Each structure stands twice: as structure tokens, then as C-alpha cells.
Amino acid sequence: MGLVEPVQLVAPDQLAPVHFIAVGGSGMSGIAALYAELGLEVSGSDRADSPVLASLAARGVRTFVGHAAEQLGSARTVVVSTAVGPDNPELVEAHRRGLRVWHRSAALAALMLPRSSVPAPRGVAVAGTAGKTTTSAMVASTLVSAGADPTFVVGAPLQRWGTSAGLGTGPVVVEADESDGSFLQYPAEVVVVTNVEPDHLDNWGTPAAYADGFARFAGRPGVGAAVLCADDPGCQVLAERLAELGDEGPEQVLYGESPLSDLVLEEVTVHPTETTARLTWRGSETGLLRVPGPGHHLALDAAAAYAVCRLLGVDHETALAGLADFGGTARRFQLVADVGGVRVVDDYAHHPAKVRAALAAGRAAAGRRLVVCFQPHLFSRTRDFADDFGAALALADEVVLMDVYPAREEPLPGVDSGLVADACAVRLGAEHVHWVRRREEVVSRLRELVRPGDLVMTVGAGDVTAVGPELVRALAGPDGVR
């Protein structure tokens, strides 16, 4: 797939008409919607119909199902994601016509430039191996609560509003994806790095190169402040590298349980429905941090969001109140249903760090058995981190493994879910690890394992998200919970 190189940006009104290829994706749809809301002519196509296309059409985007060269119409700019292949007929036609072709990150970054209603927007870019969607959503939601009227594009719909994007006249908050290097595109004044753990080595090659990318992201000219997690080893190394830049580097704002942090968390407590902590900002202002949902990681994400909001001028009490009112994002420990005494939760976690955090939240919140259905995402990630996945999954009582979700990749010899199963079985015991190779048998296996009072988590970035509703229907059937 390769890394994306930054391009010279121009304002959105100089791009139109704009056509988005694969407009139904989570990263593309929000950007297209905001371009349409700016009053620009916007079109987009996707390989299959979906509710997302219907929503975009309602917001003024001309949508197409399937890809064909003539659907470009009078477009001057074509926006693509990393997942769009070079043989896509619309992309081929765009190159034939000599049109401007931008990666989605450039189209998003253009929203951070001055425009008539926002002559000098303050940009915030939130990055990290794990936690960037929740943290960026917390920043956006808290700024809305504070009346700051942000523009935002994050990686999942905020549950309160049902959208991943909003257009305002205040700060611009974006989730900055490191997977393909596109986080280097954003002209941000404030950057956040939640953690740095190796991932996406199919693009970056080595853990060292991956870490170098974050150093470039946080140390670019124009970055005034870098908000870093003091508890994360990767961020600790990053902080040392940024310090070497001297006056040319950004102000560092550290957060976490380390007493050396600018924002110190103490007494972090995970409850079944919320997480709390005692927060102290720069040695003077203190208060109770409350954030809905279970998970130690949520306290850290909320701390990062608090720090950003303070840097943007939000006062202490307003920031705490906004975080306490956060409504969550889709597929982040999202309740599917309670049925027959069984609680079913869905989570997007697909990296060992994310799986570990999600299951730790489940373990802390449940006070009951934890049954996890996990679908590895990408053959390359499974190959690189099978042992780490096994260790993270061992937090469960029972693990059901689905086959690898390939996404954009072709199979790799010798790489399958068996690698994760073996790594997990060493820690949990083979009798508690169940690799189900046939998709149609996953729900029946879960039904055999589930008992009244269990918490069931479906975990992964692929179509495992459909398993939860299927299991709920099965448990609500005539045989109920066994």
C-alpha cells in the first residue's frame, strides 16, 4: 500500500466540483458531507449501496452505486482513500483527464485552512496507535458543550449525534491516521499522541520507522503544543526526541498518572458504567474527572481531551462538565443488547493494545464471566502480532476466534487465526480457546459457551460486528440462554 506523501493544500472552494471515490467509507463520508455543507458541488461513488449513501444524498451529495468513468462528471478534483486500487475506472479516468487527485487526508486538511467564516482556525490533530477516535471525539464533544462551535471529522459516529463530522466556525479537530503516514498532512497548532506501539508495519517496515513517523508528526514547523501520554513508553521516547529540538520544537504538555505530568491523574477507578479520577492541572486546579463508560484507558483519553480544551481556552469546570456529558462513539464498547441475563457489547479493537484495553474494560465492568469473539484484521497484522493478540485475549474466560478478515490484503502462506489461537491457548488453556473456521457456525458455538450473567464482547474491525445482533436474536429465541 505504501505511505502517503503530503501535498500543497488549497482551500476547498478552489477544488470544486469534487468527486469522492469510496465515499461510503467512515473516513470519506464525513469529509464529503462537510464539503457539501460548505455549498460546494460534491459527488461520490461506492461499490455497494448503504445507509451512508442515503445520508449523504440527503445532505446534498450526488451519489452513485458502483464505479464508472462517466460518474466523474465535471469534477476538477478527485478524492481517494488508500483502499482505492489503481485500476478503479474513475481513478483511471481522473488521471487520463489530468485532474487533481488527492488522498482523503489532503481533502480533510483543506478544511483546516482559513475560509470566509473562519479566517484563522486553530487546528487540532489527534494521533496514536490506540485511542485516537475516542480522544478526538471527546475533544469535539467537549468543545461543542463549551459553545466553541468546532469543525470536526473523527473516525466513528458520535452516538449522541449519529455523525462523525460537523461544520462550525471554531477550532478544527481531526483524527489523524498514522497507518499510511497521512497524519503528516494536517496543519495543526495542537497535536495529541495517545501512545506509540508498533503497527501497520506493512507500510512502515520497521517499528523504528513507525516511531520516526510520530516524531515527524509532532515536531513539524507550526506545531505549537504536543499533548503526550506520560505513562506510555513510546510517548516517553517521543518526548525526549522533541526536547532535542529545543526552541524549534513544540511546547510539551504531558498527561497521565506520572507525578511529573502537567495533568496528573490519581485514584483512577473503573465502575460498571463510568470511570472516575482525581485530576490536577498544572499543579493548581483540581477536580473530579468523570467519563461515561468503563475503562482505565478512557480516563487517559479524557485527560488528553481536557488538556487540549484547556489549551484552546476552555475553563476548568466547563471542560470537566463536557467530558462527563460525553456520549461515546460507535463500536467503542457499544452495548448491543441485554438478553436473558447476558450482556452483548461490540468493540472495534483490532490492535493488541486496543484489544487489551477493551477486554480490561470488560473485565472491570463485568464482575462476571467474559466471553470474547475476536476476528483478526489483516494477515500482515496477524503475522506480526499473533503472540501479543494471544496475551491480550487471555484476559477473557472463553475466546472464540473467527478467520482473519483480509480487508485489502491477499492471504499470506502459513498465516491464519491458528497463530493467535495457539498463543492464547498457552496462557488461557486450549479448552477455553475455540477457533471456528466456518462463519455460519460462530453464533452456535457462542450459544454453547454463554451462560446467564455473562458479558459477551464481539471484537475486531471486520464483519464480526454482525455477530452480536445475530447472537442476540438466537438468545432471544425459543430456546433462550442455555
What is the 8-class DSSP label of residue 122? P
- Residue 238 Rama label (left phi>0; alpha psi -120 to 50; beta): alpha
Which residue among 63, 82, 133, 142 is the active-site one? 133
DSSP labels for 338-400? EETTEEEEEE---SHHHHHHHHHHHHHHHSS-EEEEE--B-HHHHHHHHHHHHHHHTTSSEEE
Is residue 129 a known part of a binding site? Answer: yes
Contact criterion met (CB below 8 Å) for 146 and 322: yes
Residue 147, C-alpha cell as written in the block: 459553545
Residue 474, C-alpha cell as written in the block: 438466537
Active site residue 175: yes
Centre a 10 Å sphere on the Cβ of residue 245 and count the other Cβ atoms it contains.
12
Q: What span, in angstroms and rounded, lies between the C-alpha atoms of 171 and 118?
A: 9
Contact criterion met (CB below 8 Å) for 415 and 379: yes
Which residue among 63, 77, 90, 132 is the active-site one? 132
- Taken in order 394, 397, 400, 405, the sign of the CA dihedral is negative
Is residue 128 a known part of a binding site? Answer: yes
Is residue 134 a known part of a binding site? Answer: yes
If DSSP codes are grouped into helix, strand and coil, which group holds residue 168?
Answer: coil
Q: What span, in angstroms and rounded, lies between the C-alpha atoms of 444 and 50?
A: 28
Q: Which residue has the cell 476552555?
A: 314
Q: Which residue has the cell 459457551?
A: 449
Active site residue 132: yes
Is residue 354 a known part of a binding site? Answer: no
Which residue among 90, 142, 151, 175 is the active-site one? 175
Beginning with the edge strand found earlier in the chain, give each strand of the sheet holding 18-21 in spatial order. 62-65, 42-46, 18-21, 77-80, 100-103
Is residue 85 a known part of a binding site? Answer: no
Find the angle CA(280)-CA(281)-CA(285) to the nearest 5 degrees: 75
Beginning with the edge strand found earlier in the chain, give each strand of the sheet holding 274-281 in spatial order. 163-166, 151-158, 172-175, 123-127, 190-193, 225-229, 251-256, 263-270, 274-281, 285-292
Q: What span, in angstroms and rounded, lies between the C-alpha atoms of 361 and 365?
A: 6
Active site residue 382: no
**Which of 224, 211, 234, 220 has the alpha carbon at shortest distance from 171?**
224
Residue 318, C-alpha cell as written in the block: 466547563
Binding residues: 128-134
Active site residues: 132-133, 175
Binding residues for ATP: 128-134
